[in-house]
Amino acid sequence: MSNGKLVTKARTDSVLSSVFQEDIAWTRLEPQSISGDPSPGLEARVFDPLWLLAMQWRLGEFEGEDAGSPLTVRVKGTAHTVVGWQPGDGTGPVAAALPLPPGQPLDPHIERETYDARALGVRQRAEAGADLVEQFRFAGVDPAGLVAACRFTDGGSVRSSLPPALRLAYDMMPDGLRAAEALEAAMPGRPDWLAGTPQDLQDAVAGWLQWFRNNIAPKVEPANDCWTPDRLEYRFSLEAGAPGQSSVLRAPLHAGGEIDWYSFDLDEAATLGSNPVGAQSDSSTFERKVFATSLRYAGMPSNRYWQCEDGGVNFGLVDAQTHDLARLCLTEFALVYGNDWLVVPVDTVPASLCKIDDVRFDDSFGVEHEVRPTDDAFRLFHLASPSGPVPALLTPPSALDILEGVALEEVRFVRDEVANLVWAIEAAVQAVSGDRQLRGSEPWTPVAPRPEGAAAELEYVFMSEVPPNWIPFVPVQDQKGAFYLRKGRLTEDEVNPAKGILISRTPYDIMDEEVPREGIRVVRVPSLARAADGSYLRWISRRVESGRGEAFSGLANDFVLKTKKAAE
């Protein structure tokens, strides 16, 4: 017995030493059973089915009317086409409603700026003039009369500030803006440089003028401007449907960019009058019959036994507290009730407000069921209205894949708690050439000690200086006791310290709550999109984004500096 124990202990020590000393190797894990047949373990037999049935009866799981599965779904609805739009949100002075041409995206009408000569640089005007010269040469007409009559007359200071390549175009090409104004002033006639030319050229010039006013220098009336400067946002309304059954959709705070359903609130009691009586029918009914498809999402629990789920999603790592009700409900839906939901894809009418009137489905037993809306269902795509959420889906006529260029102008609104001011920092403005120009590197002279020979050793400074592109907005109290921000100036000789377009108006007021602690960033960007017919649409839009925090301007009042005489 002793020898056997010694041998067993020696073998155990050798096995353990080999495990810890040799390299790690992986082996396959295989199930083992006493009988040699692993099928009973895979069957997952239940040894007390009566108890399970009793628990199902106790929980009321046998109260279901049937056990049929949905197969086909029929959806009936009404589509109200968007026919017009109106600037503003209907609370202030109301502008006239404007019709929306079919196939035209809404974005250029909403975001397009009002006409400002400073927004049209020399580059855009020269390129438009060069395109008009090409129209003359294509028709076989000498453009010398056009070039002589529509030369640039901005002066030598403008020419000297241009780069060499653009300076050549300034000297050789006509001014597209002057040519357009000459054509409009001579209507219904023709200017002298176009008189006696072939009809084909006159038609081409008329098309050029339309292109110029739609894309390069649009004439947008101030009453049709959707930009709200004191709120730094767009406000507009849409009208959908035929006369007598139309609906108005308000967009009270659109920050620019994609126009989607979540920007609108439904106002069923209002009307804009953009669709006259007797126009084409703008409301139609539709019916769709589709197959019911089970809901699928990443990491969804499998509904079959012994089926492995996607390992890329781990719901066990969801960090939720007892007060995170939304996160807990979403996790419960994903883990417990996700396989009870069906997806019914329905193609809606483009640029319309679709209301679902009836939903029915046939199950696997051929029984028809009506699906009624419930108050506790998800209301993700419902539109808000004064009477409550409305089960309607809006597909606004917005442009797809809008291309945006480099910001032509950039203004950063930041808070300075030390100075108790809000600063509008013009980081970039649009130069005379029309290109982007940075303002942060402009020369300026800060407060410095007095020169040598000063009589006093100390110099009193009433106020320090800040960079010229820092424009103050001071708090002002209105009659109701609330505060708003008004653009100011630091010196008496400054008429308008702003060199850009965003904050050029005087006086300029902004609501105090529009500038949060982190600040905001407002830019002007050139945008390009295509209409339904493939034509190009160009406009200048504005975007509002979050800032990067507070700033310190270094502004100080009532302090003393030592002169050079005191330093000696």
Give the CA radius of gyration of the chain: 36
Contact 192, 149 (CB under 8 A): yes
539 DSSP β-pair partners? 527
Give the mean pLDDT of the chain.
82
User: What is the per-residue pLDDT for 64?
Assistant: 66
**CA dist 67 to 34, 61, 292, Å?**
41, 11, 16
List Cα–Cα distances, 40 to 36, 44, 88, in angstroms: 10, 7, 72
DSSP 512-528: GGGS-TT-EEEEEEEEE
The angle that helices 122-138 and 176-186 make with each other, rounded to 10 degrees, is 60
Handedness of CA 181, 185, 188, 194 (dihedral sign): negative
Task: Answer whether 432's CB lies under 8 Å from 419's CB.
Answer: no
Helix residue ranges per DSSP H, 315-412:
325-332
d(CA 484, CA 481): 10
Domain boundaries along the sequence of the chain? 69-107+235-294+341-400, 121-216, 296-340, 403-567
Q: Which residues of the chain have pLDDT under 50?
A: 1-7, 276-280, 449
Distance in angstroms between the alpha carbons of the first and the last residue of the chain: 105
**CA–CA gap between residue 470 and residue 424 (Å, rounded):** 6
Nearest to 557 by CA among 424, 465, 423: 465
Cβ proximity of 189 and 456 under 8 Å: no
- In this predicted structure, what is the pLDDT of residue 336? 84
Instruction: Please name the residue that has the structure tokens 């480099």.
Output: 406
pLDDT of residue 376: 57
183 CB-contact burial (10 Å; exposed 0-12 / middle 13-18 / buried 19+):
buried
Task: Return phi, psi of residue 437, to 5°.
Answer: -135, 125
DSSP for 336-361 reads: IIGGG-EE---PPPSSEEEEEEEEEE
CB-based contact 339:294 (threshold 8 Å): yes
The pTM of the full predicted model, rounded to 2 decimals, is 0.75
* The pLDDT of residue 131: 94
Give CA–CA dist 251/257, Å, rounded.
13
Q: What is the pLDDT of residue 299?
A: 80
Q: How many CB atoms lie within 10 A of CB 98?
A: 14
Residues ≥6 apart with Cβ < 8 Å to 446: 464, 465
b/e 50-70 (16+ beta carbons within 10 angstroms → b): eeeeeeeeeeeeeeeeeeeeb
pLDDT at residue 227, as a whole number: 92
Q: Which amino acid is at 567?
A: A
In this structure, the strands spanning 483-487 and 509-511 are antiparallel
Q: Which of 399, 413, 403, 402 is nearest to 523 (CA)?
A: 413
